[in-house]
Amino acid sequence: MVAVTLADVRAAHERIRPYVHFTPVFTSRALNELVGAELAFKCENLQRAGSFKLRGALNAVLSLDAASAARGVATHSSGNFGAALALAASIRGIPAYIVVPENAPRIKRAAIDGYGGVVTECAPNVPAREAALDAVVVRTGAHPIHPYDDARIVAGQATATVELLDQAPAVEQIWVPVGGGGLVGGAAVAARGIAPHVRVVAAEPRNADDAQRSLASGRIEPMPNPATIADGLRTPLGTINFAILSTHGVTVELASEAAIVRAMRLMFERMKLVVEPSGAVPLAALLEAEASRKARRIGVLVSGGNVDLDALADLIKTAS
């Protein structure tokens, strides 16, 4: 198993620092009262390309040697990582080939196109994504970069937690959305290395609870067709991140679909932040979790803000 160390995270932070936003931490008295804790929201929805995923993508792309980089990079993605990799590749001046499920949100597909990514569509399931990516790599010779099961990606994503711990040093917990696990795996590595007293909690849709079931059983338990509006969290937990979560004592809290939509609406109304469903899952889980499982001071990683505005009004109406 490939280990990810704090030294890897520190190196990634220096490597990507010139190209990423140092995103702000926001607070909300109204949300503090609703949750019963002091919340510090690390707003990666305000990151370039609209999500934290630029951090890992840049670390991976900038780590490549010249010969590998010249062939370009390739990945499969439901949207956010594809856009991030396309932007990272454009920064280095190399091509990016992105395999996207045919049901990917329109705004995310448009972002990939806008950053110059070459898109290949596939059926909306993991085997189809992987097969399409293999074909693209054979055809182009591009260097494949997994969207979350890659040590370079995990180290890059961990830099968001490094910044959060500097911006809000009093936090006792950090709640992080979990899909493939790159963000929460990175958070666990960074927290243990910098502030070992801080507990990392993975927040997951109840309708896509493979991380909770995997940690409970001791082996990865994929969910073939998770039915959640949090499209960025439909991916199965990666092997590298499963190992990190298992060994770092990460626990999982679940959020209902109704709570996810409510959290999106609350962040829009109370904080004036546009947050996609995946980015709202930690707040949703906090709203539903028992008080005994929450600390007094909590950091919340808001993973992204790439939501289709045409669909946003319909989504928030369901929480009325």
CB 53 within 8 A of CB 81: yes
Predicted confidence at residue 309, as pLDDT, reads 74
N-terminal to C-terminal alpha carbon distance within the chain: 46
User: Can you give the residue ranges of every domain in the chain?
Assistant: 6-51+151-317, 54-144
In DSSP terms, which residues pair with 98 in a beta bridge? 75, 119
Please give the full DSSP string across the chain, using - where no structure is assigned: -----HHHHHHHHHHHTTTS----EE--HHHHHHHTSEEEEEEGGGSGGGBTHHHHHHHHHHHS-HHHHHT-EEEE-SSHHHHHHHHHHHHHT--EEEEEETTS-HHHHHHHHHTT-EEEEE-SSHHHHHHHHHHHHHHH-PEE--SSSSHHHHHHHTHHHHHHHHH-TT-SEEEEE-SSSHHHHHHHHHHHHH-TTPEEEEEEEGGG-HHHHHHHHTS----SS---S-GGG-SPPPHHHHHHHHHTT-EEEEE-HHHHHHHHHHHHHHH-----HHHHHHHHHHHHS-GGG--SEEEEEE-B----HHHHHHHHHTT-
| Cβ–Cβ < 8 Å for 181, 238 | yes
The predicted pLDDT at position 4 comes to: 95
What pTM was computed for the model? Answer: 0.94
pLDDT tens digits, one per residue of 270-302: 999 999 999 999 999 999 999 999 999 999 999
Residue 171, pLDDT score: 98
- The structure tokens listed for 57 are 């993508």
Sign (positive or negative) of CA dihedral 24, 82, 203, 205: positive
Q: Annotate 211-250 with b (16+ C-beta within 10 A) or e (fewer).
A: bbbbbeeeebbebeebebbbbbbbbbbbebbbbbbeebeb
Domain 6-51+151-317 belongs in CATH node 3.40.50.1100: yes
54-144, CATH topology level:
Rossmann fold (3.40.50)
Q: Which amino acid is at 69?
A: A
Is the distance from CB of 20 to CB of 84 less than 8 angstroms? no
pLDDT of residue 124: 84
How far is the C-alpha of 223 from the C-alpha of 15, rounded, in Å? 35
Residues of the chain with pLDDT under 70: 1-2, 312-313, 315-320
What's the pLDDT score for residue 103? 83
The answer to whether the 6-51+151-317 and 54-144 domains have the same CATH topology is yes
pLDDT at 167: 98
Between the alpha carbon of residue 223 and those of residues 192, 210, 235, 277, 280, the distances in Å are: 29, 6, 8, 19, 21
| 58-115 pLDDT tens trace | 999 999 999 999 999 999 987 889 999 999 999 999 999 999 988 887 877 888 999 9
Confidence (pLDDT) at 78: 76
What is the per-residue pLDDT for 2?
A: 62
In this structure, how many other beta carbons lie within 10 angstroms of the beta carbon of residue 18?
9
Residue 214: the pLDDT is: 96
Single-letter code of the amino acid located at 257: E
Question: What local confidence, expressed as pLDDT, does residue 317 receive?
Answer: 65
